């Protein structure tokens, strides 16, 4: 199939070059394949990738371009500024990715119109087999491909990026750190902001006094129950002050 020879599987060892269907896998469709793994090749995600805790495949959408000029976009029907990615090009790229990835992965397109990504979505994705991610460019992609391939739209936030790649990197970073074998201390993840529905309490380390600022005394007491209570109270106060939306949801579920 056209393009399949150029798909690159990003993985450090020869042994796991074969796609292991049991491992959580991301397949990214992009016009800028060199942006991957990018920062995901570093630190915990990078080590996880090297050790086969997750798998990343990247396809250059241009491999599915049409005509002698290798076109992937065209001007919008109805006029207006910018270009739109063609449905035939993307449809073929998506179909090939589905066939290569086992057909059971969630198919998502990064778009400012989508559901804003949150920790609950990252947990949902971690529980599944993986994702196929479409990174848009230009003014976006032809609406028909979203409908015909039943693509979910997800957003990084209420601002406009130049392309979906940075949103894809952010999603993958957030998901991969939750996978077993990637972050050493899985217990520490369950206390993080959003996991409990609240923002996390403040952290302190040595020195106990810095620029005349002391660490809250209870944290030096060694009294585990009191420390736990102080952290819970701090989380609640911070959430109430900063995130009325989260506070309303959490207090509805926990204080009534």
Ligand X SMILES: C[S@@+](CC[C@H](N)C(=O)[O-])C[C@H]1O[C@@H](n2cnc3c(N)ncnc32)[C@H](O)[C@@H]1O
Span interacting with ligand X, options 50-58, 110-118, 194-202, 218-226, rule CB under 6 A:
110-118
Applying CB under 6 A, does 48 fall inside the site for ligand X? Answer: no
- Rounded least distance, CB 34 to ligand X, Å: 17
Applying CB under 6 A, does 140 fall inside the site for ligand X? Answer: yes
Applying CB under 6 A, does 5 fall inside the site for ligand X? Answer: no
Decide whether 48 or 136 has the Cβ nearer to ligand X. 136
- Rounded least distance, CB 196 to ligand X, Å: 26
Binding mask 79-98 for ligand X (x = CB under 6 A): --------------------
Instruction: Please give the Cα distance from 238 to 102 (Å, whole number).
Output: 44
Which position among 3, 39, 76, 112 is part of the footprint of ligand X (CB under 6 A)? 112
Applying CB under 6 A, does 77 fall inside the site for ligand X? Answer: no
Which position among 37, 130, 164, 197 is part of the footprint of ligand X (CB under 6 A)? 164
Tokens for 197?
């529905």
List the one residue out of 34, 25, 78 whose CA is nearest residue 52: 25
Decide whether 138 or 230 has the Cβ nearer to ligand X. 138
Decide whether 66 or 116 has the Cβ nearer to ligand X. 116
Which position among 155, 183, 193, 251 is part of the footprint of ligand X (CB under 6 A)? 155
Applying CB under 6 A, does 151 fall inside the site for ligand X? Answer: no
Applying CB under 6 A, does 161 fall inside the site for ligand X? Answer: yes
Which position among 48, 87, 130, 136 is part of the footprint of ligand X (CB under 6 A)? 136
Instruction: Please give the Cα distance from 7 to 64 (Å, whole number).
Output: 11
By CB atoms closer than 10 A (0-12, 13-18, 19+), residue 109 is: buried
Which position among 31, 45, 84, 156 is part of the footprint of ligand X (CB under 6 A)? 156
Applying CB under 6 A, does 30 fall inside the site for ligand X? Answer: no
Decide whether 157 or 202 has the Cβ nearer to ligand X. 157
Span interacting with ligand X, options 9-17, 144-152, 158-166, 245-253, rule CB under 6 A:
158-166
| CA atoms lying within 13 Å on the CB side of residue 37 | 25
- Binding residues for ligand X (CB under 6 A): 110-113, 135-137, 139-140, 155-157, 159-164, 167
């Amino acid at each position: 199939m056209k393009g399949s020879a150029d798909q690159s599987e990003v993985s450090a060892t020869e042994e796991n070059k074969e796609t292991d269907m049991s491992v959580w896998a991301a397949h990214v469709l992009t016009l800028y394949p060199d942006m991957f793994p990018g920062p995901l090749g570093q630190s915990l995600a990078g080590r996880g990738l090297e050790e086969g805790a997750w798998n990343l495949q990247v396809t250059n959408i241009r491999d599915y371009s049409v005509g002698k000029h290798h076109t992937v976009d065209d001007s919008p029907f109805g006029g207006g500024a910018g270009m739109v990615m063609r449905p035939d090009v993307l449809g073929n790229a998506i179909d090939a990715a589905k066939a290569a990835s086992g057909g059971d992965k969630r198919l998502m397109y990064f778009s400012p119109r989508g559901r804003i990504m949150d920790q609950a979505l990252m947990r949902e994705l971690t529980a599944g087999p993986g994702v196929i991610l479409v990174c848009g460019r230009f003014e976006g992609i032809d609406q028909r491909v979203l409908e015909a391939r039943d693509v979910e739209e997800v957003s990084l936030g209420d601002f406009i990026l130049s392309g979906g790649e940075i949103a894809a990197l952010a999603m993958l970073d957030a998901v991969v750190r939750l996978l077993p074998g990637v972050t050493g201390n899985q217990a520490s993840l369950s206390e993080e902001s959003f996991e409990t529905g609240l923002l996390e309490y403040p952290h302190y380390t040595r020195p106990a006094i810095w620029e005349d600022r002391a660490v809250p005394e209870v944290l030096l007491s060694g009294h585990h129950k009191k420390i736990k209570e102080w952290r819970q109270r701090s989380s609640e106060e911070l959430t109430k002050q900063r995130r009325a939306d989260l506070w309303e949801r959490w207090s509805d579920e926990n204080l009534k």
